[in-house]
Amino acid sequence: MVINVDDRESDPPSDKELSQIKSFLRENGVGSRSLVVWPETSLTTATKMATDFEERAGKSPVSIPARVSGPPIESWQDTAVATLKLVNGLDSLEELGVDPRTYDPCTEKTLGDFLDRIGNDFVALLAKLLAETRKPLRVIIGMASESGKAGVLGELTGSSRYGFLDADKLLGATPNSVIGKWWSTRRGLLVQTIVRLDARIVHLSPSLTVPVVRRFGPEAASSVLEKLGINSRPPSDITNYFERADFGRLLLGTDSATAEIRGNPAHDARAAFELLAEDYGFGSGNDKKLNQALGDYLTQGKPDLGEVFIEKKLPYMPLIPDIAIDTEELVTGVELHWRSGDFLTTANRSEIAQYTLRKLKAYAIESGWASD
């Protein structure tokens, strides 16, 4: 039985560990039928390990340290061809533009380095091919709450384009969270992800969400608003709210560098949203029904925006945005977060940043830009 001691290169065994290995190998049963292998990349360290062990256990029946050599260099190209075919299930790889036989194995020290070089080129080629056949994708994160203004969202975004996320500000808002630490080791990738997705974050005020829910929402939510005397408004009225809202301006392509300067939403809209949060709630899947309501409005009230998908898998990647809007030019993924109270305050900055970073991570992984 071969026992491999992994992940201890450049960390040789202590005196106690050497004695324990000696005792194990002398035991009747499994120990006496085992071969312990301790990989080491430094010949000097390996030689010292072997000497120290033989001083305790006596001459080894196997010559140590054992020198390991890989397959002959003239076989590396064939090995690379076979590996690419086996892993990817593809023949005629050279017709794709990556032919291992055109790579000089003498330029690399090991077979692993040789395979890595070809593998990196192959992955880059596949990414290029996918990018050429995939529509551009952008992401809008919408924060729906009682808040009438963007509030703390301005502390997570840049100043050049309204709502455009800032990598440094996001990481600075939640440096010790799990998702913050994950991205902190990939800061460059975070910047690239934000740029590639033109990732924005905006607020959806009660002035827009309340009339949408009243007319298009589930009966339970609409009834809550009806009790407060909120009348169902025609789609044309809702469209007026939509076209003035930051969320609407982004979808319509009329956004500017700053948020819309308007007063707080009417008192009845804030009170209605508060009641909706209390009596209907956003947990237990209720938020998905509210996503459906907004998607139904976009389908019926703004059909010129494009084809609307609600909680459905995108045809271009294994992602299921809350709402996706598909046009000939690009796909817009909309991720909605429904929260009670005046949520967009400094006290919730870290929570908002974490939610945003988790969404960006999902898009980066599913786009093939990162691995978990």
Helix (H), strand (E) at residue 336: strand 331-338
Higher pLDDT, 318 or 117: 117
Least confident of 34-48, 65-79, 182-196, 309-323: 309-323
Q: How confident is the model at residue 41 (pLDDT cuts 50, 70, 90)?
A: confident
- What would the two tokens of residue 145 be? 């709450």
Q: Match 């309204």 to its residue by tokens.
A: 162
Residue 179 has what pLDDT? 97
Please confirm whether the linkage preceding 235 is cis (ω < 30° from 0). no
User: How large is the average pLDDT for residues 77-89?
Assistant: 83
Name the DSSP class of 230. Answer: P
Higher pLDDT, 193 or 97: 193
Residue 310 has what pLDDT? 94
Beta strands in 135-198 (DSSP E): 137-144
Residue 312 has what pLDDT? 92
* Mean pLDDT for all residues in the chain: 89
The Cα–Cα gap between 86 and 80 comes to 10
Least confident of 28-32, 49-53, 96-100: 96-100
Taking Cα atoms as reference points, which of 134, 150, 271 lies closest to residue 203? 150
Residue 127 has what pLDDT? 74
Residue 256 has what pLDDT? 56
User: How large is the average pLDDT for residues 172-178?
Assistant: 96
User: How large is the average pLDDT for residues 89-113?
Assistant: 81
- What would the two tokens of residue 312 be? 């459905």
Residues sharing a CB contact under 8 Å with residue 107, sequence separation 6 or more, in sequence order: none
Per cent of the chain over pLDDT 70 is 92
Classify each residue of 103-120 as buried b or exposed e, where b means 16 or more C-beta atoms within 10 Å of its C-beta: bebeebeebeebbebbbe
Higher pLDDT, 61 or 358: 358
Residue 264 has what pLDDT? 46
User: How large is the average pLDDT for residues 121-150?
Assistant: 84
Residue 93 has what pLDDT? 65
Q: Match 């459906």 to its residue by tokens.
A: 292
Q: How confident is the model at residue 158 (pLDDT cuts 50, 70, 90)?
A: confident
Residue 263 in this model has a pLDDT that exceeds 50 = no
Q: How confident is the model at residue 261 (pLDDT cuts 50, 70, 90)?
A: very low
Q: Match 């990162």 to its residue by tokens.
A: 370
User: How large is the average pLDDT for residues 13-41?
Assistant: 91
Residue 10 has what pLDDT? 83
3-state secondary structure of 227: helix
Give yes or no for a contact between 210 and 230, defined as CB atoms under 8 angstroms apart.
yes
What pTM was estimated for this model as a whole?
Answer: 0.65
Taking Cα atoms as reference points, which of 93, 166, 218 lies closest to residue 349? 166
Residue 260 has what pLDDT? 46
The Cα–Cα gap between 336 and 334 comes to 6
Q: How confident is the model at residue 130 (pLDDT cuts 50, 70, 90)?
A: low
Least confident of 162-171, 266-275, 284-293: 266-275
Least confident of 128-142, 265-279, 290-304: 128-142
Residue 347 has what pLDDT? 96
Output 44-49 pairs: Cβ under 8 A, ≥24 positions apart: 45/10, 45/12, 48/12, 49/12, 49/13
Taking Cα atoms as reference points, which of 343, 151, 161 lies closest to residue 250? 161
Taking Cα atoms as reference points, which of 334, 347, 341 lies closest to residue 152? 347
The Cα–Cα gap between 259 and 127 comes to 36
Q: Match 């010559």 to its residue by tokens.
A: 63
Residue 258 in this model has a pLDDT that exceeds 80 = no
Higher pLDDT, 266 or 280: 280
User: How large is the average pLDDT for residues 227-241?
Assistant: 91
